[in-house]
Amino acid sequence: MRTCLALLAALALASGCATPRRLAPVPTAPTSAVTADTGSEPPIFLDDVEIQAGDIDMIDSASISTISHFIGPAAYSRAGARAKNGVVEISTKSPDRTTPTSPLFVLDGRQIPPQLARVLDPAKIRSIGIVKGAAALPYGDRGRGGVVLIYRKVG
């Protein structure tokens, strides 16, 4: 978890967000009879959509508006029991432009939210492909607006 939060702090500084709305310290020792789960990463939300911790390094730091780490009741109201180590909320400078016919975004073979696709760091992208029409049929209804296939650089 410390690695994830250290990366988030670095992104915040690089994007000019030296003072996030709320950044709370992460507890390092268990309290009373509760045992700390140090191997569990906090859920991460990008513009109100949950993303995977591994996706953080793909975000262009210039697109970040704020990074917040919520703990306690604020975190539990956002993610329930998964929020035992808090919740990380990343807000971007870009407005949400998704529509019902927006394309499906696929990063290295897995679907990603449009919010993440909007803020990917171009320096970390190897190639982008567009699939539409009959070629998008394997993606079902999700691919009705087309499919954007994104591949990361290796290494």
Is residue 28 over pLDDT 90?
no
Q: What is the pLDDT of residues 103-120, one digit of tens each?
A: 999 999 999 998 898 889
The token duo for 39 is 């191997």
Q: What is the pLDDT of residues 37-76, one digit of tens each?
A: 455 789 999 888 889 888 888 888 888 889 999 999 889 8
Better-predicted residue by pLDDT, 70 or 11: 70
Where in the chain are the domains? Answer: 2-92, 104-152
* Local structure of 142: helix, strand or coil: helix
* Local structure of 134: helix, strand or coil: helix
pLDDT of residue 34: 38
Opening angle at CA 70, ends 65 and 73, nearest 5: 140
Pairing of strands 104-107, 87-92: unpaired
Per cent of the chain over pLDDT 70 is: 70
Is residue 101 over pLDDT 90?
no
pTM of the model: 0.55
Residue spans of beta strands (DSSP E) within the chain: 44-46, 49-51, 64-70, 87-92, 104-107, 110-112, 125-131, 147-152
